[in-house]
């Protein structure tokens, strides 16, 4: 199967009213088979409107009956991916919704340090590449845990260059890990490659894993965290589950599938963990997504119908009024987390795998 298109790494020009042209041109034809195992026994897992009213077009998630892989279907075109990635990460509309603000707030330094500590039992890494690093907040926090490690960052957006300018990463690599030029440049350079909530955004997670192993030194460690499609919140909250609500989640891989794939690539599974990576935001996230549906649309530069001053002010007022409600839900998420992370309500998992040692 040829590699699927990735979103462009180049900045896009603003095109006001872009969505007025319709959302269908952002979608590929619907798939009739599972992108993970090829089975044609697919179940509809979710059909729902877009996560916010200013981003029209339904989102669908199908699940494979044979391997339980869940995936966005129909999937975005390269242009659609670029649009949404831009919207979330780079654009002025980036953090205009309650849900996006809430999710962005969860990349806290404390969580990053906890993830970095997962590598403490292993030999101290000299070099570490964080894939999908964004503004480099993970390397910045991880440096406190691994002060003698050199952290580099890779990201398709210009945020990685800001991360280097701010001293959060030593080297900034802009692009995709699967780009041949990047693979050649970084081949066998790293003791650790980390991917935090990255694989689910990629068009071809298998290609991404192969690329990660290419840039690892023999015997190096791969540290992965992804949403767990088996999380009971997915069933309970349906379209309001945050892991569905983010339009850029293309693949949701069951733990067993990812473990089997890594072993097939010659890796040894060192640990897998469903407890610590649980992020307490499901209840507040679902509430924020629901509020985003009912509040007047935000001032997104490219939405189909430009917002009026009155609607913008109304949204600001209503968002302020709803904030205590979301804060209460967030407090509930945190209060329940110690219990829920031990159950199937845990919403993410972590894998540490060691690549094959070099031949003697």
- Give contact residues for Zn ion (rule: CB under 5 A): 34, 36-37, 39, 64, 66-67, 69
Q: Where are the alpha helices (DSSP H) in the chain?
A: 78-85, 98-104, 109-117, 137-145, 159-165, 180-186, 205-215, 232-237, 242-245, 255-264, 282-294, 309-340
User: For the chain, what is the radius of gyration of the CA atoms?
Assistant: 20
CB of 33 to Zn ion, least distance (A): 8
CB of 68 to Zn ion, least distance (A): 7
Give the residue with the Cβ less far from Zn ion, 51 or 254.
Answer: 254
The answer to whether 39 and 257 are in contact (CB under 8 A) is no
The answer to whether 129 and 115 are in contact (CB under 8 A) is no
43, HSE (Cβ side, Cα atoms, 13 Å): 9
Give the residue with the Cβ less far from Zn ion, 35 or 247.
Answer: 35
* Residues 6+ away with beta carbon under 8 Å from 208: 131, 177, 178, 195, 198, 199, 202
Give the residue with the Cβ less far from Zn ion, 161 or 261.
Answer: 261
CB of 65 to Zn ion, least distance (A): 8
Give the residue with the Cβ less far from Zn ion, 54 or 251.
Answer: 251
CB of 34 to Zn ion, least distance (A): 3
The answer to whether 284 and 326 are in contact (CB under 8 A) is yes
DSSP code, position 310: H
Give the residue with the Cβ less far from Zn ion, 36 or 59.
Answer: 36
Buried b (16+ CB within 10 A) or exposed e, 181-215: ebeeebeebbbbbbbbbbbbbbbbbbbbbebbbbb
Give the residue with the Cβ less far from Zn ion, 33 or 263.
Answer: 33
CB of 71 to Zn ion, least distance (A): 9
CB of 69 to Zn ion, least distance (A): 5
How many whole angstroms separate alpha carbon 18 and alpha carbon 170? 37
CB of 73 to Zn ion, least distance (A): 12
Give the residue with the Cβ less far from Zn ion, 254 or 277.
Answer: 254
């Amino acid at each position: 199967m040829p590699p699927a298109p990735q979103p462009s790494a180049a900045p896009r020009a603003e095109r006001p009213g872009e969505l007025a042209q319709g959302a269908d041109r952002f979608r590929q034809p619907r798939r009739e088979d599972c992108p993970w195992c090829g089975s044609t026994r697919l179940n509809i897992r979710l059909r729902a409107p877009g996560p916010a009213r200013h981003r029209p077009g339904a989102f669908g998630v199908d699940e494979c009956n044979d391997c339980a892989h869940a995936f966005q279907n129909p999937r975005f075109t390269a242009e659609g991916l670029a649009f949404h990635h831009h919207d979330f990460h780079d654009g002025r509309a980036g953090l205009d919704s309650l849900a996006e603000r809430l999710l962005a707030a969860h990349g806290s330094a404390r969580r990053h340090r906890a993830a970095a500590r997962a590598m403490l039992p292993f030999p101290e890494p000299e070099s570490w590449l964080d894939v999908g690093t964004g503004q480099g907040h993970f390397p910045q926090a991880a440096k406190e845990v691994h002060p003698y490690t050199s952290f580099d960052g890779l990201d398709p957006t210009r945020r990685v260059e800001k991360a280097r300018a701010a001293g959060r990463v030593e080297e900034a690599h802009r692009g995709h890990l699967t780009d041949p030029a990047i693979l050649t440049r970084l081949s066998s350079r790293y003791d650790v490659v980390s991917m935090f909530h990255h694989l689910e955004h990629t068009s071809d997670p298998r290609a991404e894993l192969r690329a990660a192993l290419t840039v690892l030194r023999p015997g190096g460690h791969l540290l992965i965290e992804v949403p767990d499609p088996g999380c009971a919140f997915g069933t309970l909250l349906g379209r309001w589950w945050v892991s569905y609500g983010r339009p850029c989640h293309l693949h949701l891989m069951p733990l067993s599938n990812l473990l089997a794939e890594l072993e097939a690539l010659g890796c040894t599974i060192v640990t897998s963990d469903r407890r610590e990576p649980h992020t307490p935001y499901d209840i507040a996230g679902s509430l924020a997504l629901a509020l985003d549906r009912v509040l007047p649309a935000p001032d997104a530069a490219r939405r189909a119908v430009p917002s009026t001053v009155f609607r913008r002010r109304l949204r600001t007022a209503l968002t302020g009024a709803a904030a205590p409600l979301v804060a209460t839900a967030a407090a509930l998420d945190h209060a329940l987390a110690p219990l829920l992370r031990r159950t199937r309500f845990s919403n993410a998992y972590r894998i540490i795998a060691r690549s094959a040692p070099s031949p003697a």
